[in-house]
Amino acid sequence: MGIIKTSKLIFEYIRRDEDGNVEGITRAIDNVDLDIQQGDFIAILGHNGSGKSTLAKHINAILYPTEGTVWVDGKDTSVEENIWDIRQKAGMVFQNPDNQIIGQLVEEDVGFGPENMGVPTKEIRERVEESLKAVGMYEYRKHSPNRLSGGQKQRISIAGVIAMHPKCIIMDEPTAMLDPNGRKEVIRAARALHEVEGVTIVLITHYMEEAVFADRIIVMDEGRIEMQGTPKEIFSQVEKLKELRLDVPQVTLLAHELKKSGLKLPDGILTIDEFLYELERITGKQNTPGKMGIL
Amino acid sequence: MAILLNHVSYVYQAGTEMAVTALNDINLKIPDGQFIGLIGHTGSGKSTLVQHLNGLLRPTKGALYYDGEEYYSQGFDLKRLRSKVGLVFQYPEHQLFEADVFSDVCFGPTNLGLDRKEVELRAYTALKQVGIEDEYFYQSPFELSGGQKRRVAIAGVLAMKPDVLILDEPTAGLDPKGRDEILDQIKALQKESGITVILVSHSMEDVAKYVERIIVMNKGGVLFDDIPQKVFHEYEKLEEIGLAAPQITYIMNRINKELLPVSTEVKTIEEAKNEILRAMRLQHD
C-alpha cells in the first residue's frame, strides 16, 4: 500500500437554504481510487469546483469520507484515534500565506508544530533549524513573519510542516496569491524537499508550468479522476485539457499549434530546451546533440 | 477623462521612524479608452498607486488631476471621482453581501442618489456587460461559482458608470478557463463602451494578450511604460526585479539566438507560430 491510498472514496455534502432546510445533496468526490507511493511528486489539476481541494482535505483528515476509505501510511482516516498521527504524517500548506502563520518570530512559528507534539525542547531547536535550512529561510529565523514577502511566508509555512517530520506534504494552491518570484521560491522549495529529503509531495495548482515537474499528474473533473499520467502524457492532450477548463504551458501550446500547421513535432513538449532541440531537428540544422542540452 | 499624475510621492507613516516610501515621484498620463496593464511584484507600489487614482490615498507630495481638475482642490467632488474611477479590489466576491444578485449590483447606484428606474436600468446593463444571464438575477450571490461571483462584483462597480475601471488581480484563484473568460469579457466591454481599463497583475502572461500598454512598477517608481512587446524585450531586467516575461518571449529569444532569425517582439502564441513558420520558409528559399 502506498503512503496515500483511497478506495471508492465518495464525499457528499448537504446544501441548505438560509433557514437550514435541506435543498439537495452535492457529490463533491465521486468514487475516487488513488494510490500514491512514498517519494512521489504528484500534481493535481482541475477547474474551480472539480473537487481537488476536497480530495486534499481528506488526506489530512479535515474531511471524512461519506463512503469508501482513505488510508494515510496505512491508517484509516475515519478512525478517530488515528487523526493526530495522520496530521503529523501528512502536513498541509494552504493558499493564503497570511492565514497560517501564528508565531511572533519565524523560529517560534516553525517550532509550534513539534512543540504541540511534545517534542523535547532541544530537539525542537534542531528541527526548526533543519526545516528552515531546507526551505532556505534560516537567516530569517529571528525575523517577524509579518514583514516577509508572500513567497517567504509560504516557505515558513512549509518549514512549519517539515518540522513535524511528515512523510507527505499536501499543498493546496500554495502559489495562487504569490508574484512570479514568490511562486518560483515555493516550487523550488517543494522540489528540493522531494529530491533531497524524499518527501512525498501532492501539489494542487492552477499553474500548468508548475505541474511539469511532477512524476505524475492527476486531472480532476466533477469529483472524478478524469486523466492520469506523466506530464508528457497529460500535456499531449491539449484539446482535452481545454475542454476541462485547463491549459497547457505556452511552449507546449506553441509546439502543438506548429504541429497542426504541418511541422513534424512530437506531442507533449514541456520545456524550451526540448522544443528547440526538436525544432532544430526539423529545420535540418542538426548539430551534435550535446549542444542543445537534451533533457 | 484623462488622469494625470504630476510628481506624485507617497510615504506611509510619514514623519515617524517607521516611514516607508511607497511611491517615488510618479509622472503618468492615463488617457481615455486605453487598456493598460499595471505590473509589479508584491510591494512595488502598484496598489498604493491605484488607491491614489480614485482618491483613497492622498499624495504626500505632488498632485493628481482628473479631467483637468486637481484632486483635493477647493470644490473638488471626491464622491463623484470615486464613481467615475471605479476600483475592483482583489477577491471582490468577498464584498458581496445582498440577498440576491440584482440587489447587490443596485447598491452602488442607489447610493449615488439616482431614482429607482435608473438604478435598475444600470444594474441590468452592468450584469449583461459581464455576461450574467437573467436566470441568476434573483439567486443569492453566494450560490454562484467563483467566476460568476467575481463578475457580479465587477458589475457592481460598472453600475456606477465609471470612465475608468481598475481591476486588482481580477483572475487570482480562477482556473485557466475562468481567467480567460473574465479577461475576454473585460476586453469586449472596454471595446464597446470605450472606458479606460487598468488591469493590476503579477503576470505578464495573463495581460499580454489584452493590453496595449504596460506600466511596470518597481520600488515605488515607474520602471517601464511602453507597448507590451517593448516591455517584454527587457526580460532580463524584469527578472532582476522579480517579474518574468511570458514564456513565449523566452522561446523566441532562444530561437533567434540559437536557430533562426525570428522577431522576438511577439505577444501571443498565434503571432509566434506565424513568425516561426515565416522564418522557416525564408530559410528554405
Nearest CA in chain B to A16: B143
Is some CB atom of chain B closer than 8 A to the CB atom of A149? yes
Could you please report the per-residue DSSP string of B73-119? Answer: STT--HHHHHHHEEEE-SSGGGG--SSSHHHHHHHHHHHTT--HHHH
* Residue recorded with cell 515555493: A186
| Chain A environment of B146 (Cβ under 8 Å) | 48-49
Minimal CA separation from B118 to chain A, in Å = 30
Summarize pLDDT for B18-59 with one digit per residue, the tens: 888 999 999 999 999 999 999 988 788 998 999 999 999 999
Hey, are the CB atoms on B280 and A48 less than 8 Å from each other?
no
Hey, are the CB atoms on B175 and A254 less than 8 Å from each other?
no
| Chain A environment of B273 (Cβ under 8 Å) | 254, 257-258, 261
Q: Which of B174, B242, B243 sits opposite A48 (nearest CB)?
A: B174
Q: Which of A47, A149, A258 sits opposite B42 (nearest CB)?
A: A149
| Chain A environment of B172 (Cβ under 8 Å) | 176-177
Q: What is the ipTM of this complex?
A: 0.83
Among residues A152, A171, A151, the alpha carbon closest in space to that of A161 is found at: A171
Q: Give domain limits for chain A.
A: 4-236, 249-295
Hey, are the CB atoms on B270 and A257 less than 8 Å from each other?
yes
Summarize pLDDT for B98-120 with one digit per residue, the tens: 889 999 999 999 998 999 999 99
Hey, are the CB atoms on A179 and B145 less than 8 Å from each other?
no
Hey, are the CB atoms on B42 and A182 less than 8 Å from each other?
yes
**The C-alpha cell of A255 is what?**
509546439
Give the full edge-to-edge strand order of the sheet including B69-70.
Answer: B20-30, B3-12, B61-66, B69-70
Hey, are the CB atoms on B248 and A257 less than 8 Å from each other?
no
Hey, are the CB atoms on A179 and B202 less than 8 Å from each other?
yes
| Domains, chain B, with CATH or none | 3-228 (3.40.50.300), 246-285 (no CATH)
| Chain B environment of A285 (Cβ under 8 Å) | 259
Return per-residue pLDDT of chain A as tens, 295 residues.
Answer: 889 999 999 999 888 776 778 888 889 999 999 999 999 999 999 998 899 999 999 999 999 999 999 999 999 999 999 998 999 899 999 888 888 888 899 999 999 999 988 999 999 999 999 999 988 899 999 999 888 888 889 999 999 999 999 999 999 999 888 888 888 888 998 999 899 889 999 999 999 999 999 999 999 999 999 999 999 999 999 999 999 999 999 999 999 999 999 999 999 999 999 999 999 998 875 444 444 444 4
CB B93 within 8 A of CB B153: yes
Q: How far apart are CA A120 and CA A255, in angstroms?
A: 55
| Superfamily of domain covering A4-236 | P-loop containing nucleotide triphosphate hydrolases (3.40.50.300)
Could you please report the per-residue DSSP string of A31-53? Answer: EEEEEE-TT-EEEEE--TTSSHH
